[in-house]
Amino acid sequence: MPRAIRRGPRYVKGKRSLLAPSPPGPLLAIRPETLLHPRPEGLYCPPGDFHIDPLRPVARALITHAHSDHARPGHGHVLATRETLDIMRIRLGEGFCASEQAIPFGESLTHGGVRISFHPAGHVLGSAQIALEWQGCRIVVSGDYKRRPDPTAEPFALQTCDVFVTEATFGLPVFRHPDPRDEAGRLLASLARFPERTHLIGAYSLGKAQRMIRLLRDCGHDAPILLHGALEKVTQYYEARGIMLGPLEPVAGSKGHDRAGQIVLCPPSALADRWSRRFADPVTAVASGWMRIRARARQRGAEIPMVISDHADWPELQQTILDTGAGEIWVTHGQEDALVHWCQQRGLAARPLRLVGYGEEEAA
């Protein structure tokens, strides 16, 4: 990771440092705000007359991924990847929008003179970054993203651009996600140590839960994993898309005495719910990037906090911003102050968009 975060802009004689500000790019013919700007209902593109991940129902919406804070019901026409549309239907029901249109990764279409393309974001299955090009200006909206390997999501595909619109969920230098295999290893060690206890993992129902299952399989756990009812449909969809998750069983159908020594996955909210009382003496684990902060882990009642995140950590945010070559950075949601400060220290134009409403599904 870049170390020299304490220093201001600096130039290394003879070669361009990774951390030095980019040389000014070609002057843009337009102000990027004419292509995309925030409105109370979300990011809006005037020439195309559409929104990206709008927070309220709109006529035309481009959706980066199917988490409920980004993918809300009630829009007129929705453009998204096949996976995102399918998962929206599973979670929101038929009729979640008036009409839908699927777009494959990497292909582009033009609407109102704006060239639109979707590129893998690596966040969850089907998650995309959305690139907009218009009059020589290219803006990429990252949605939520991560760059680490995850067999349950299409790998992040870097896009160069003039303006990079980034998330900052973990936009503080204290967030450096460890190797997820080590985190899963601690859970499996506990399972070996307390074989008579049920191991209950709280994980977000879309993305994290399926990644967690795959991770446990990759760490050698072959036994059936039990699923809370809220996870079943999305998990079945992942399997239908060819992601091998091994033997899975619904909690509802399993016998009480079988659950000792088994792994059960549920949404984080179910950990504190009466639902969790059916298990004998459970060990509570939580898989989330927030588990990095011990006070938050304790607040959640986690006995095994697993720092496993589907968002970019601080070094990934920095690296991605530099890799896009963008001269201007807009920060949508999260810990935007620190990331904006860091960009400005590097001579990048950066500003927070202060969009209210993102991050809610995963904070729940």
Partner 1 sequence: MNRFAALIEALAFEPRRLAKLTLMEEYFRSVPDPDRGYCLAALCGVLNLPTAKPALLRQLISERTDPVLFALSYDYVGDLSETIALLWPAPSGDPMRDIPIGTIVETLRRASRREVPGLVAGWLDTLEERGRWALLKLMTGGLRIGVSASLAKHALARFGQTEAAAIEEIWHGLEPPYASLFAWLEGRGGRPDPGQALTFRSPMLAHPVEDEDFDRLDPREFSAEWKWDGIRVQAAGRLRGNAAEIRLFSRSGDDITAAFPDLAGALHFDGVIDGELVVLEGETVAPFSAVQQRLNRKSVSARLMAEFPAHLIAYDCLFAGEEDLRALPLDARQGRLEMLVADHGGRLRPSPALAFESWADLAAQRAQSAGHPAIEGVMLKRLASPYLAGRPKGHWYKWKRDPGLVDCVLMYAQRGHGKRSSYYSDFTFGVWDGDRLVPVGKAYFGFSDAELIELDRFVRQNTTNRFGPVREVVHDARTGLVLEIAFEGLQASTRHKSGIAMRFPRIHRIRWDKPPGEADRLTTLQSALARASVPSGAPDA
Selected binder of partner 1 within 18, 59, 252, 272 (CB under 8 A): 272
Query: Which residue lies nearer to partner 1 by CB, 118 or 279?
Result: 279
Q: Tell me which DSSP letter residue 131 carries.
A: E
Query: Which residue lies nearer to partner 1 by CB, 20 or 248?
Result: 20
Q: Does 194 bind partner 1 (CB under 8 A)?
A: yes
* Measured distance CA(31)–CA(245) in Å, rounded: 47
Binding part of the chain for partner 1, among 155-163, 236-244, 255-263, 295-303 by CB under 8 A, reads 295-303
Binding part of the chain for partner 1, among 29-37, 243-251, 323-331, 337-345 by CB under 8 A, reads 337-345
Question: What is the DSSP secondary-structure string of 221-270?
Answer: --S-EEE-HHHHHHHHHHHHTT-----EEETTTS-GGGGTT-EEEE-HHH
Contacts of 295 (CB under 8 A, 6+ apart): none
Selected binder of partner 1 within 298, 351, 363, 364 (CB under 8 A): 298
Contacts of 281 (CB under 8 A, 6+ apart): 196, 197, 198
Phi, psi of 107 (to 5 degrees): -85, 155
Q: Which of 164-188 are b and which e, b meaning 16 or more Cβ less than 10 Å from the residue's Cβ?
A: bbbbbbbbbbebebeebeebbeebe
Selected binder of partner 1 within 36, 302, 331, 343 (CB under 8 A): 302
Q: Tell me which DSSP letter residue 18 carries.
A: T
Selected binder of partner 1 within 13, 15, 31, 277 (CB under 8 A): 277
**What is the distance in angstroms between the CA of the first residue and the CA of the last residue of the chain?**
30
Binding part of the chain for partner 1, among 19-27, 130-138, 320-328, 341-349 by CB under 8 A, reads 341-349
Q: Does 305 bind partner 1 (CB under 8 A)?
A: yes
Binding part of the chain for partner 1, among 67-75, 100-108, 146-154, 335-343 by CB under 8 A, reads 335-343
Q: Does 178 bind partner 1 (CB under 8 A)?
A: yes
Per-residue string for binding with partner 1, 222-261, x by CB under 8 A? ----------------------------------------
What is the tally of helices (H) and strands (E) in the chain? 9, 19
Shortest distance, CB of residue 220 to partner 1, whole angstroms? 20
Selected binder of partner 1 within 10, 341, 351, 354 (CB under 8 A): 341
**HEC-encoded secondary structure of 160-190:** CCCEEEEEECCCCCCCCCCCHHHHHHHHHHH
Shortest distance, CB of residue 302 to partner 1, whole angstroms? 6
Binding residues for partner 1, rule: CB under 8 A, are 1, 3, 5-6, 172-176, 178, 186, 193-194, 271-277, 281, 284, 292-295, 297-299, 301-305, 335, 337-338, 341-342, 345
